[in-house]
Chain A
Amino acid sequence: MSCIEEKFAQLRATYPKELNSSLVMPFLRIMLDEKKSLGESDAVFIANYLGLPAMQVKEALTWYTMFYRHPVGTHVIKVCRNIACSLMGAERIIDHLSQKLGIKPGETTADGRFTLLLVECLASCGTAPVMQIDDTYHEQLTEAKIDQILKGLS
């Protein structure tokens, strides 16, 4: 926890008192980056730290999809399934990834290396189809390109 608290304190020092409540989103993000998935106790910790109602932070934690509440794999693969990507073969890409990893969307491989998620438009429609692995965007996907990308991951 100490590393997280250090980061909390650092950021809090740059926020005036009246913007205290605006630290909820950034703190959840810091916590997530550190722990990979969050639980109720994390929300309570942040609420106590900021002196806010626990319910407010719990609600935020459970409402935003990016704050994972289940353990995820070492690498999280998000594939866009929205309109522009669909027009350029998103279904084919999703099937290929599913087959390659041996899991259905929403699942994590048995070895804990990959989680496959379907997401909505990633704002990269001009270079569809698109996926994001961890933070990095991979655009204009083909089956061969996916194979290569997966091979390159540790």
Chain B
Amino acid sequence: MTSERIFFNFPVTADSHTLKAYQGRGGYQALENALKTLQPIDVEKEVMASGLRGRGGAGFPTGSKWSFVNKKAPVVYLCCNADEGEPGTFKDRWIFEHNSHQLIEGMILAAYALNVRNAFIYIRGEFDLSFRRLMDAMSEAYKAGYLGENILGSSFSCDIRVMQGGGAYVCGEESSLYTSIEGFKGYPRNKPPFPAVQGLYKAPTVVNNVETLANVPWIMTNGAKAFSAMGTEKHPGTKIFGVSGHVKKPGLYELPLGYPLKKLIFEECGGILNGKELKAVIPGGSSTPILLPQDVETANLDAECLSTYRTMLGSGGVIVIAEGVCMVRLLHTLSRFYAHESCGQCTPCREGSAWMNDIISRIVAGKGVKGDLESLERITKGIMGNTVCALGDAASMPVINFITKFRAEFDYYIEHGRSMNDGRLEI
């Protein structure tokens, strides 16, 4: 394992986000080189060989995703997923604020590989500084000839358009995202057909996360081998982890995949706030199953290892929970969120997420009854696997995990009508 960094490899200063600074760090050389000396398929092959996997949540191999696209189709679209809505996730914002050019260069390289003329960045509607920095970088890139007609004198032309979201979490789901780009309410679509076959405007479409695409220039500059030398064999590279909750030093940490979770929490982040004991960790954004302290002892941050703990790397949003927190009320913050964000299109998710939230709200209000936890379990079973998109599963997983792993706390709350932990969330 080397300690190379793909993102946090320069000091952030007042102008380190500008084109000039990015060029000074070798920026856009990968693009120049690709347009001069490489065929589109060479870019795809390099990304495939690097083993890069999606950083948005599902961890799908990026090269494979690209290889499914018929590049001879009359139109192919590329959409960058910058909706960053999964609670606990705040990494893409850093890329926009400090190095938008790295994403733009990655997108142009991807567009070249995929034969894309028109690409989109779908950015969260609330983002302000991120959006302004991105727009500044876009105009710099256009002026410098990295975007538009005949890029750097080559025969390749590509435009990127930036679109601001409307405050819907579900629009981070890939089919919801391109439905929104088409100017509709963001109802996810049934798959298949998968976006690679039929996505935006019914054309083959690749949707990739910001961090995924921003890895591409580094891979093209340093080679697939250097990339796959970092991280684990099946999950190579680095990942930006966002740590929040009860640690002494919350924030973003770029680490090789496979990094021990315990080390991240107790060394990098300085341990638990106020010297408290650790109670639980959500490893990859709010919908990933929660880990107990004994799991944290041995779990590593890569897809394969976390799957043996029946959880996921997700978006890399690590949420740390200290002893003393009321897990019933904490689950309520999540059930409320998912009930609110369900798009309403399919019955199991729309009704189920609302029922679950009603039951949990009632328990929190001290009016829980015997059988509530069984009802919750039954509802999650009715949702999982029976919905158009993965939001239904995302809403169910925390419920089933919290009530299984902290059963005694839920039973106590229902029996006594109050929290075992005084209802505390803050410590």
Query: Which positions in A face B, CB cutoff 8 Å?
Result: 14-16, 18-19, 21-26, 28-29, 52, 56-57, 59-60, 62-67, 78, 81-84, 86-92, 119-128, 132, 135-137
Contacts and interface: CB of A to CB of B under 8 A. Distances in A.
17 contacts: A19-B161, A19-B201, A22-B181, A29-B125, A56-B183, A59-B184, A60-B183, A64-B186, A81-B333, A82-B333, A83-B337, A84-B319, A87-B244, A91-B425, A124-B93, A125-B250, A126-B250
A27 to B, nearest CB: 9
Contacts of B120: 22
B90 A92 contact: no
A120 B334 contact: no
A82 B286 contact: yes
B183 A124 contact: no
A77 to B, nearest CB: 13
A64 B161 contact: no
A125 B181 contact: no
Contact of B88 (A22, A83, A89): A83
Nearest to B252: A126
B323 interface: no
B161 A15 contact: yes
Nearest to B87: A121
Contacts of A52: 183
Interface in B73-121: 75, 84-90, 92-93, 118, 120
A76 to B, nearest CB: 11
A28 B184 CA distance: 12
B90 A89 contact: no
A60 B128 contact: no
Contacts of A23: 183
B89 to A, nearest CB: 6
Nearest to A89: B426
B166 interface: yes
Interface in B226-264: 242-246, 250-252
B183 A123 contact: no
Given A25-B166, A65-B166, A120-B169, A84 B244 contact: yes
A123 B89 contact: yes
B163 A22 contact: yes
B120, B166, B330 — which one has the most chain A CB atoms within 10 A of its CB? B166
